[in-house]
Amino acid sequence: MDVSHTILEDVDILALSHILKQLPVVQKVDLSSCQLSGTQLSTLSPVLPRVVDLVLFSNSVDSPAMDDLAAVCSESRPSVHMQKLNLSLCSMYGEVAAKSLASVVASTHLGHLDLTGNTRFGNQGLASLAAALPEECSSVTWLSVANCGLQPGCAVALGQLVNKLPKLDELHLEYNCLANSDVENLLEELSSRHLRHLHLDNNHLDDGVVDSLCECLSVRQSLFRTSGGTSPAPPCFIYIHGNRMSEAVLDGLIARKSLCSNDFVYQGARFIAKNRVEKRNLSALIQRHGGAFHNFASNSMMSSVGDYLRDDRHLVYIDLGRCHISDDGILMLCNGGLRHNKCLQYLSVCNNCIHLPGFVTLLEAIVTG
């Protein structure tokens, strides 16, 4: 059910609440940018726990509304179906809102929590959320506190939060002001965990944090082998685009023994790995990700991707979204082999730096192919 970008009057809220009451489970309700008031959210609260995927993006979610939602979730815990909650750009801040949010998490099967863009949440909100969460919130696997106003000194709260989310698979910390010491402490906590994606883009990190990155990856491998694993540890992707690391240090990461072939570090328009991505190992990369390069490919990879597509007879899907690809990258992709591929059915290049010449080149390649 999508009512996003619609200004809802009180009578509309009552009608929506009545409709949702008739349904035992609702897969998704998108209320993005509906300018909901706290009172309207409180009116909807009794029926929201039965929504599997609830999107409240870009509304003003105040503490009383979160309190009401937390109370309803707690009272109806056996019948709560909520698994995804998007509270990005919801002006959440302060200890009260964080505690209410922790109650919602504790009373649901929430696996996906998005707090992106709550710039006033800050260190205090993070510390309050971490303190209020019960031990072992095992359901949460995806968490974003990107652009939440985190400042140097949040290491303790970050560590406490991660400790209470043992199944966390992906953590977004982009566009904050983390210091090297915050990340170093976080990496110590994460080295023994199975987190696969850590997003540290656009913070204030410099060359001093590189040793901790390598140590974290090395410890993961050692612990995995000690526990009886015979194959490499699960892939760990650490995204560090837009920080203050020098190119020389990033190039040095390639030679580090602690960096295994399935551990990658991404900086700007470069994709750094133990082995540079060439045609001979690109096939293994595609097999592992099924063509999903979203957010970690780059211009420098496009020639290799094009070469792969020239000979491939199986790949039907490639996602190159948010890869900082420019017109030059599109030209390399098309000239490399896209125009000769006969089996690709879906290609996504959304949220890149492509202008009209690049799109013309891409369309010509698609028509030709």
Distant-in-sequence contacts of 281-284, Cβ < 8 A, 24+ apart = 282/307, 282/308, 283/308
Quick one: which H or E segment has residue 113?
strand 112-114
C-alpha to C-alpha distance for 126 and 148, rounded to whole angstroms: 9
C-alpha to C-alpha distance for 193 and 171, rounded to whole angstroms: 12
Instruction: Give residue for tokens 């690709």.
Output: 344
Contact predicate 259/266, CB 8 Å: no
pLDDT at 15: 92
pLDDT at 313: 67
Contact predicate 338/309, CB 8 Å: yes
Q: What pTM does this model have?
A: 0.70
C-alpha to C-alpha distance for 115 and 160, rounded to whole angstroms: 17
Is 220 strand, coil or helix? helix
pLDDT at 14: 92
pLDDT at 289: 46
pLDDT at 87: 93
> Which tokens belong to 361?
């080149």
Closest CA to 276 of 308, 251, 248: 251
Tens digit of pLDDT at every position of the chain (369 positions): 888 888 888 998 999 999 988 888 889 999 998 888 888 888 898 888 888 999 999 888 877 888 888 888 887 766 678 899 999 998 888 888 888 898 888 888 889 999 999 999 999 999 999 999 887 667 899 999 999 999 999 989 998 888 888 888 899 998 899 989 898 888 887 766 778 788 888 888 888 887 787 777 777 666 555 545 555 556 677 777 777 777 667 666 655 544 433 344 443 333 333 333 344 445 555 554 445 554 455 676 787 778 777 877 667 777 777 777 889 889 988 887 888 888 777 788 887 888 888 899 999 888 876
Give me the count of residues in the chain.
369
Residue 248 phi/psi, 5-degree rounding, is -65, -40
